[in-house]
Structures are given as structure tokens and as C-alpha cells.
A = this chain, B = another copy of it.
Amino acid sequence: MKVHEYQAKEVFKKYGILTPMEKMCHTVDEVIAASKEIGIPCVIKAQVMVGGRGKAGGIKLAKSEKEVRQHAESILNMEIKGIPVKKVLVSEAIDIGSEAYLGIIIDRGKKKTVVMACKEGGVEIEEIARQRPEAIYKVYADSLMGLMPHRAREVGLFLYEDPKVAFECASVASKLYKIFVDLDSSLVEINPLVVDKGGRLIALDAKLNFDDNGLFRHPDVEAMRDRESEDASELLAKEQDLSYVRLSGNIGCVVNGAGLAMATMDLVKHFGGEPANFLDIGGSSSPEKVMNALRILLKDENVKVIFFNIFGGITRCDDVANGILQAKHTLNIKHPIVARLTGTNEEKAMDILKEAGLIFAKTMDEGAEKAIELLK
């Protein structure tokens, strides 16, 4: 789960990391009021959870009240990568001395939490990682002890020569690490971390992503979710313990297991079709879950055919069959359904579905091909 810059900064502030004076606004009038409070010049920043806001014109410096209004109007009417801007952050204009990058993620390979620091801030860190990986300094936290003070100092001393700033930076790194661990974060990032002309260390931007598996223990994090910015169907799916991602094709896929779901999409494509979605109904299923899955799938009007690919292990094919049957009646589904159900209780499933007017397939190849065939 992701949150907006302004939300990430609220968390940062709570942990004692310095951020610019700021106010989140929804309307042009609010922006003007905020600019008076914060002072002009100020920066107006679109709050959307996609990269490249700056390039898209979503971040503007306003040097006069007139410019405040102009920028507020333009940004609040903007779409960035297809996402309409509904909130902006009015931010104190900081007199920047230097910019750096500071972030924390889990390194899958080393199986440890890693603090990444780079003397170049405000640029895309992924680009640097690809082109000049040596420019990124990595410090690993001890998995049981945390980010030890000497490790945090190492980060600070890498970024800054002035010991005072270096130790302030060490303290910021320790606070970031605490946020990371306390909140089950999957990414926490300050880019750029700036030293202003007065020598203060300020988080000019903030990024905070969360590990979905950790959300159950953080209702306060869950409460930050911006439901407007997420796809309604994907969100609904998540709430029903399903995993759904909408794509642009016309063959709706219902599969158990993420790997098999991806392989199913790949197979549809392989045989010349276009998958309409990724939909994983998960491990242990019930007829209700199948019903819910179909409800979500059918919101997509592009879907012309439904392809069930179920390999029963912990999932029982009869549960899925009962779900299909119920859904077909309750939701009055007219779409042709190709069903490939194999594994646990597959015979029972066949018995249940015998009279339902489905197209059966013995293998996933056959299922994909039949689904594509039906579109012709």
C-alpha cells in the first residue's frame, strides 16, 4: 500500500524528522489561504501516487500571489499519467544548499534491511542504481539488533563532511529505520534530503510504502489509505481476500494461485488471445469467494468470455463448481464460461456442473484455446 507525500511527511514529523512547513489543500481557495500562512514564494505540489510529477508539471514554484492562483488552478485541473490531481501540497520554499538521497528497503538477496544513501538527490534513484551502482552507499541493519548507531553514523559520514550535519543525518537514518520497522514499511525514502542554507537537514519529499502483509497490525496505517486513488475493483477484491488486477483484454481469467494466474494470462496471450485481468482466488476457497470473484470480473464490460483455470490442492474443485453455479443463477451470467477444474474433488465438481451448460477443458492449453475460439 502507498500513501501520499503529505501523509508520509506526517509520519516523518511524528518521528522527529524535519519537513518543510506545509499544508494539504483541495481547492484553489485553500491553496491561496495556505500560501498566505506559509509565505510566498511557496511550492505547489500535486499529490498523486505516481512517479514523474515534476516532469509532468505537477510541482511548481509560485513567486507571487498571482502565480499561486495560476499554479493551483493548473495543477488541480491536471491529470498525471491518467490520474486526476485532487489534492495539492503547499510547501515552504526552502533555500537549498545540497541535495541527497536516503532510503530503506529490504534486500531480498541478503535477506536484510538496507539503508541506501546517495550524494545525488532529487534524481531517479532507479536510474542511478542501473547506471552507476557504486554511487549508492549501502549500510545493512542487523536483523536482530536494528540499525546500530555506528552504522547510522556511517551513513551520515558518507553523505556529509561536516560532522554536525553527518550526525544529524545519522539521526534521520535511525528515525527512518524506526518508521520502517514500526510500521511494516516496504519502502521509506527521502528524495531529496536537503541541507538548507542555514545548515538544517530537511526532508523535502517523502515516500512511504507498506507491506500489505503487515497491515493487519497497523489500523492507523490502513486508515491512511486513499481509496479514491486506488482502482475500486482491485480494492474490493482485496477486501474480499482476492487479488485482482485489471488489464485491457477480453478473456476474463479466474485462477487459484498467483503463479498459475500469471501463467494462465501468459498462455492466453501465447495462443493469440488477450487476458482481461489477473484474478487469484487464493488458497482455500469457498463458493462465496467464487461469487465475489465473478462479481468483480463482470464489472469489466470488455470481458466477453470467462476462463476458469483451477488446479485443486488446498482449493477444492467442488467449492469452485458450487460458486460458479450459484453465480450463474444469482448474477444471471450470460457470458460463455470455459471451465478447467482439476485436482482435489474434481469428479464432484464435474457432477455439479454437468447440467450448467459450461464448456469443459481437460488442460489449461485446451481451456485457453477454447476461450479464444469462443470470441470468434
Contact = CB atoms under 8 A, between A and B. Distances in A.
Interface of A: 144-145
A144 B145 CA distance: 7
Identical copies of this chain, number:
2
Contacts of A144: 144-145
A145 B142 CA distance: 13
Nearest to A143: B144
Q: Lowest 2 CB-CB distances: which A-B pairs, in order? A: A144-B144, A144-B145
A113 to B, nearest CB: 15
A147 to B, nearest CB: 15
A145 B144 CA distance: 7
Contacts of A145: 144
A149 to B, nearest CB: 15
Nearest to A142: B144
A136 to B, nearest CB: 29
A145 B145 CA distance: 9
A134 B144 CA distance: 33
2 contacts: A144-B144, A144-B145
A273 to B, nearest CB: 50
Nearest to A144: B144
A144 B143 CA distance: 10
A347 B87 CA distance: 78
A162 to B, nearest CB: 29
A205 B145 CA distance: 35
A328 to B, nearest CB: 46
A56 B144 CA distance: 48
A240 to B, nearest CB: 31
A211 to B, nearest CB: 20
A144 B142 CA distance: 11
A131 to B, nearest CB: 39
A145 B146 CA distance: 12
A259 B144 CA distance: 37
A191 B145 CA distance: 33
A139 B170 CA distance: 38
A142 to B, nearest CB: 9
A119 B82 CA distance: 68
A256 to B, nearest CB: 32
A144 B144 CA distance: 6
A202 to B, nearest CB: 29
A141 to B, nearest CB: 13
A144 to B, nearest CB: 4
A9 to B, nearest CB: 30
A354 to B, nearest CB: 48
A33 to B, nearest CB: 42
